Structure 1
Amino acid sequence: MNVPPLSYPTYTVDGVPMDSTGWYLTPATRRRPLPAVKAVSVEVPGRAGQLPVLGLDVEATTVPLGLFVTCNRPDGTEGDLEALEHNLAALYSVFGVRHRLLDVRHMPAPGIELQASATVLAAVDPDVDIANRFARMQVVLTVPGTYWRDVSAVTWSGKLPGAGQVVTPLAGSTAPIADALVRFTGPATNPKITDAASGVTVAYTGALTGGQRLLVDCENLRAARVSTDTWDLAGGTDVTGSMDSSGPGSANRWLHLTPAMAGHDPYSRSITVTTTASGTSGASAVEIRARRAHL
């Protein structure tokens, strides 16, 4: 049974193509689904309906992959039941990893590659057609972090202070970015950065001299002051206790860079920040290193 695999859209799992000589994706499962929102309802007696609640997080994403498994050997020649069993065993080895998360890549079109870390929680029960040496598998991937990300991080440099600055390398995101690295370069006193869409602010209560840098790890809620040109917090002076975050959702996370549409144009999605500080000079700056996030 030689069925030519479709090129796009497609997935890989730990570098293994899901469209290969021994198996291929069903057409119905080639697109990633839109994640569900964690529903919260607040009802007030005497008031119709429910109170609107903004800023809700989303559920973990589930990605169902339907696979047709053939009896084709790795070299493309048609085999028998033994070849079918080898193909099933190969897929079991891919999806059966439990000591770490799987590296899943989604390629919806040429030149686009999105990454997510996932695991398989549901049972996988192949439907095997012995007579035709053929099987069907439904594998449900769970993405705990919900969002798909660009494979590589980008770095943006901005002004300190500066109002309404568009973080151009992160344009096109469709989901908030909560794990950015922010770097302030002194001299600067009480540097602060605010995400325009969400209104969330992260601020440092202290002063940076010329040549000093403040590294803010938004994912791990850590900050360090360093004296070298580095993005590594290790070896720096821990100043996490001097950081302050305010705004919606700031109780359990720091800056979450949120894309917003320009007017009514859904194709124009940008992240805008405002920075403030006193005692700055021409050498003062802010930088953001992050990967775009996608629903």
Structure 2
Amino acid sequence: MNVPPLTYPTYTVDGVPMDSTGWYLTPTTRRRPLPAAKAVAVEVPGRAGQLPVLGLDVEATTITLGLFVTCCRPDGTEGDLEALEHNLAALYSVFGVRHRLLDVRHMPAPGIELQASATVLAAADPDVDIPNRYARMQVVLTIPGTYWRDVSALTWAGKLPAAAQTVTPLAGSTAPIVDALVRITGPATNPKITDVATGVTLAYAGAITGGQRVLVDCENMRAARVSTNTWDLAGGTDVTGSVDSTGPGSASRWLHLTPAMAGHDPFSRAITVTTTATGTSGASAVEIRARRAHL
């Protein structure tokens, strides 16, 4: 039963195609869902309804891969029940990893590849048709981090100081980016970066001399002063205590860059930042390295 695999949309798990010789995705395989917000209800006596709460985080998402498993051997030749069992065992080995998260890639169309880290929590019980030598199974993937990401990070170079700068490489994101690396090049005193959409700020208290850089890891809430053109905090002087972040969500992460529509155009989604500092020169700059995030 050598059925030609579908081309798009498709998935890979740890580099293993889900449309392959021995198995392929069923037409009912779901696309990634829109994540739900974590529910928070604030009720006030004497007031109808609930108080609106903004800036809510979202729940972990799940996606179900429906797989049709055939008895085809890896070389494409027709097999038997032994080949079917080998194909099921191969899929079990892919989805049975427990010591790390799975690298899941979603290719909804040519030229688009999104990545997420996932694990399998729900049981997958194959429905095996012995006489016809095939099986159907559904694998439910849980994505703890919710968002899908671009595979590669992009770097943006901006001005310091400057108002309302568009971080052009990150345009097109549909979800906040919470793990950006920010590098500030001196000279600059008390530099600050503000995400225009949310008002969240990232500030460094102190002076950065010419030739010095302060590198900030927004996800892990760490910072270091470095003297080389590097994106690695290792080897730098820790200055985490000199960094402060304010605004919604800043207690658990720094500077979540949030895309916003331009007017009423849903196809125009830009991340905009404002930078301020004193004591700057033409060499002063701010850079952001990150992967775009997608709902």
Classify 1:20/1:30 alpha carbon distance in 2 versus 1 (closer, same or farther; 3 Å): farther
**Structure 1 runs (4+) greater than 3 angstroms displaced:** none
> What is the distance in 2 between the residues matched to 1:138 and 1:218?
37
The answer for the alignment partner of 2:194 in structure 1 is: 194
The answer for the alignment partner of 2:44 in structure 1 is: 44
State the 1:115 CA deviation: 0.5
Equivalent residue letter for 1:282: G
The answer for the alignment partner of 2:143 in structure 1 is: 143
SS of residue paired to 1:112? coil
> What is the distance in 2 between the residues matched to 1:115 and 1:97?
17
State the 1:74 CA deviation: 1.0
The answer for the alignment partner of 1:291 in structure 2 is: 291
Equivalent residue letter for 2:129: D
> What is the distance in 2 between the residues matched to 1:35 and 1:176?
13
Equivalent residue letter for 1:178: V
The answer for the alignment partner of 1:96 in structure 2 is: 96
> What is the distance in 2 between the residues matched to 1:250 and 1:218?
10
Deviations 1:58-82 (A, max 9, x none): 1111111110111111111211111
> What is the distance in 1 between the residues matched to 2:28 and 2:168?
34
The answer for the alignment partner of 2:21 in structure 1 is: 21
> What is the distance in 2 between the residues matched to 1:260 and 1:168?
13
> What is the distance in 2 between the residues matched to 1:95 and 1:18?
11
The answer for the alignment partner of 1:166 in structure 2 is: 166
Q: Count matched residues.
A: 295
The answer for the alignment partner of 1:127 in structure 2 is: 127
> What is the distance in 1 between the residues matched to 2:184 and 2:214?
5
Equivalent pair of 1:160/1:285 in contact (CA under 8 Å)? yes
SS of residue paired to 1:27? coil
Equivalent residue letter for 1:106: H
State the 1:253 CA deviation: 1.0
For the pair 1:216 / 2:216, whether they are aligned, the reply is yes
> What is the distance in 2 between the residues matched to 1:99 and 1:227?
37
Equivalent pair of 1:180/1:217 in contact (CA under 8 Å)? yes
Deviations 1:61-106 (A, max 9, x none): 1111110111111111211111110000000000001111111000
| 5+ residue gaps, structure 2 | none
Equivalent pair of 2:102/2:118 in contact (CA under 8 Å)? yes
> What is the distance in 1 between the residues matched to 2:208 and 2:257?
24
State the 1:44 CA deviation: 1.0
State the 1:30 CA deviation: 4.5
The answer for the alignment partner of 1:79 in structure 2 is: 79
SS of residue paired to 1:86? helix
Equivalent residue letter for 2:203: A
Matched-pair identity in %: 89
> What is the distance in 1 between the residues matched to 2:204 and 2:33?
39
The answer for the alignment partner of 2:118 in structure 1 is: 118
The answer for the alignment partner of 1:105 in structure 2 is: 105
SS of residue paired to 1:36? coil
RMSD: 0.7
> What is the distance in 2 between the residues matched to 1:8 and 1:37?
29
Q: TM-score, normalised by structure 1?
A: 0.99
The answer for the alignment partner of 2:257 in structure 1 is: 257
SS of residue paired to 2:28? helix
> What is the distance in 1 between the residues matched to 2:201 and 2:269?
20
